[in-house]
Amino acid sequence: MTNKMTNNKKHRKADIAMDTPPIVSGEQWEAALQQLLVKEKELTRTRDSLAAARRRMPWMAIEKQYKFDGPKGKVSLLDLFDGRRQLIIYRAFFEPGVHGWPDHGCIGCSFVADQVAHPAHLNTRDTTLVFVSRAPQKDIKRMKARMGWELIPWYTLTDDFDKDFGVDEWHGTNAFIREGDNVFRTYFINSRGDEQMGSTWNYLDITALGRQEEWEDSPKGYPQTKPYGWWNWHDEYGKD
């Protein structure tokens, strides 16, 4: 009886007609596409303008000393830069009390991790990306191997970093820059803003220095090179 009822439900769902767009000729389709491309280009220009505004955001000095557990022991916030000028930190939820523990992290955070591009492209723009959560390193190591996230540096929170930067109860991405040993917070996104993350371009667009390409609207003195000029295969950076 149960199987029969389930099958009937499936059939009823399949019978519901989709309110699809009209079927048109190739010429009509091309005309509709060109119309929509006007809006697409407007969105691209707006996105570029927003990134330019991010590069002009004031910097917030970080006075507090934060510590994290890493694969090789205790590290500081400055250590997370790994010698580079910029740092992006995504606060993921993989820890006791989170759905999926201990086998998985939060479904949404895991979705973000699945999108992360090869870090070599960010690294060559003097930028490091790391994930942080409250899981012990042994659990992080196990989960990274299971999920194929070996290329994502992942550290354990040990203090109030997440609370101080608005990510103690919800995921979020913080961007930082350093001048010598001085660290500054430059930008922050969360909620649906994190949906876009994973692409090298989108990560660079939330940083203080941006993509560092000549076409960008950036303040005077910002590092910039020709577009395409710095691009390379991810295993070829540094060989030239």
Question: In the predicted model, what is the mean pLDDT of residues 172-179?
Answer: 98
Contacts of 220 (CB under 8 A, 6+ apart): none
What pLDDT does residue 238 have? 87
What is the side-by-side strand order in the sheet with 154-157? 60-61, 182-190, 172-179, 86-91, 127-133, 154-157, 67-70, 73-76
Alpha-carbon distance 176 to 128, whole Å?
10
Nearest of 146, 57, 30 to residue 94 by alpha carbon: 146
Question: In the predicted model, what is the mean pLDDT of residues 188-199?
Answer: 94
b/e code 222-234 from CB counts within 10 Å (16+ = b): eeeeeeeeeeeee
- The 8-class DSSP code of residue 90 comes to E
What residues form DSSP beta bridges with 156? 69, 133
What pLDDT does residue 39 have? 98
Question: In the predicted model, what is the mean pLDDT of residues 14-20?
Answer: 83
What residues form DSSP beta bridges with 70? 73
Q: Where are the domains of the chain?
A: 51-205
Q: Which residue would you say has higher pLDDT here, 76 or 5?
A: 76
**Where does the pLDDT of residue 37 fall: very low under 50, low under 70, confident under 90, or very high at 90 and above?**
very high
- The mean predicted confidence, pLDDT, of the chain is 94
Q: Which residue would you say has higher pLDDT here, 167 or 16?
A: 167
Domain 51-205 has CATH 3.40.30.10: yes
What pLDDT does residue 118 have? 97
**Where does the pLDDT of residue 5 fall: very low under 50, low under 70, confident under 90, or very high at 90 and above?**
low
